[in-house]
A and B are shown apart, each in its own frame.
Chain A
Amino acid sequence: MAESGIKASRLISELEDQGVTHVVTLPDSETSGMYKAIQASESISLVPVSREGEAIPIAAGLWATGKNGVVIIQNSGLYESGDALRGLAIGVSLPIVMFIGYRGYSRHGDTPDSSARLLEPYLHLFRVPYYVLETGQDIDRIALAFDEARKTHMPVAVLVGAEYEDEVIGAP
């Protein structure tokens, strides 16, 4: 785990600042620390799904009520969600921010994992803009992603290229 990793509590704080009310998610190794932090959050509700393809439609339904749901799934789950991304997030023009675990990510670009190799081409195919989080210093990109989603009224991805640092929620 990188010393300059992304602290889950900092990330949750960013989500709270953006008015996020629900996190719709299927856990993955890149975002598991975030899962624990959301469970501890008083203002954000966790909505676990059985299959990633449910996540965007649930976030779409939340949007229809005025709530602000984000999606947190792995890149493999984003591929599984392709028709929901096409028909709902893009087809209905919804400002859904999606945190995508970048399984197989290597900043050297040399990875045997097709789930990593295909992620950015896949997002280009769907014309979904994205921001990459590699370290805790990239945390400000989250606000940029929300701003872009609001401005364009379209989905925006945040690619999480590092595991969140484990931390004891509530510890000093």
Chain B
Amino acid sequence: MMTYKDAVEVIQRERGDAVAVVTMTQSKYWNQTSAHPDLDIGISNGMSKASSVGLGIALGEPDRNVFVLDADGSLLMNLGSLVTVATQAPTNFFHFLFQNDVYAVTGGQPVPGAGRTDFEKLAEGSGYRHTRSYDDLGTFATDFPELSKLDGPIMIVLAIEPELQMAGVEQTWESNARMPAAFRSVRKSLDSSYIPN
């Protein structure tokens, strides 16, 4: 298994100018290290929606990569989005699944299918172009530079050490309040004609 912090650092290295749609605990580490906060959308006020928001961005901005940093409990609530993504087949769609097998925000209760469900096979069966699973940081860090050059949609499942958030996470009123500004920041970066409301 790997830590959130280490996994996020590997992803950041290959990010380039990708738009990032990030949800749950990995948001904390992503926000601490992001080189392009203007291209980051944190999905805090809408659990499960990261993959769908990312798909919309990928379809609207096909020449730029979109990195979706999803979570297992979140994706379980929007599992059909795997099929929707695979049907649209955006080549710029990179789907990272932080799998810790628990609901970390609420105290560590196991998610349905913990230790049993194979998300890589779910993505493969849904029609993703490439799928990978990693349970050690070294192999992921070695492979990712080449993976990041592949055409998506690609699913990369990462086995993550649970980090229980007994005192609450970035999933706060403060982070919820950042969402409207984050959407507008990304829009401003991608659409030169945009006049913020």
Contact = CB atoms under 8 A, between A and B. Distances in A.
B49 A153 contact: no
Interface in A49-65: 49-51, 53-54, 57-65
A87 B80 contact: no
Interface string B1-45: 000000000000000000101000000000000000000010001
Interface stretch (A9-17, A90-98, A114-122, A125-133): A90-98
B46 A83 contact: yes
Given A50-B84, A51-B80, A66 B197 contact: no
A61 B54 contact: yes
B155 to A, nearest CB: 16
Contact of B183 (A53, A64, A83): A64
Contacts of B52: 49, 54, 57-58, 61
Contacts of A66: 60, 187, 190-191, 193-194
B36 to A, nearest CB: 14
B45 A58 contact: no
Contacts of B88: 47
Nearest to B66: A61
A69 B183 contact: no
Contacts of A49: 52, 80, 84
B169 interface: no
A62 B58 CA distance: 8
Interface in A76-95: 83-84, 87-88, 91-94
Contact of A61 (B55, B80, B87, B194): B55
A54 B190 contact: no
A52 B86 CA distance: 17
A29 to B, nearest CB: 21
B114 interface: no
B61 A65 contact: yes
A64 B45 contact: no
Contacts of A22: 59-60
Interface string B174-197: 001001100100110011011001
A92 B180 contact: yes
Nearest to B185: A64
A84 B191 CA distance: 24
A67 interface: yes
A64 B49 contact: no
Contacts of A94: 183
Contacts of B48: 53
Interface of A: 21-22, 24, 45, 47-51, 53-54, 57-67, 69, 83-84, 87-88, 91-94, 153
Interface of B: 19, 21, 41, 45-49, 52-61, 78, 80-81, 83-84, 87-88, 176, 179-180, 183, 186-187, 190-191, 193-194, 197
12 contacts: A47-B88, A51-B81, A54-B55, A60-B53, A60-B56, A61-B52, A61-B60, A62-B59, A63-B56, A65-B61, A66-B187, A69-B60
Given A50-B81, A87-B179, 20 more contacts: A22-B59, A45-B59, A47-B84, A48-B84, A50-B83, A53-B48, A57-B53, A57-B56, A58-B55, A58-B84, A61-B57, A61-B59, A64-B57, A64-B187, A65-B56, A88-B46, A88-B49, A91-B45, A94-B183, A153-B197
Question: Which 10 pairs across A and B sit closest by C-beta, in order of nearness?
Answer: A61-B56, A65-B60, A50-B80, A66-B191, A57-B52, A87-B46, A67-B60, A58-B56, A57-B49, A61-B57
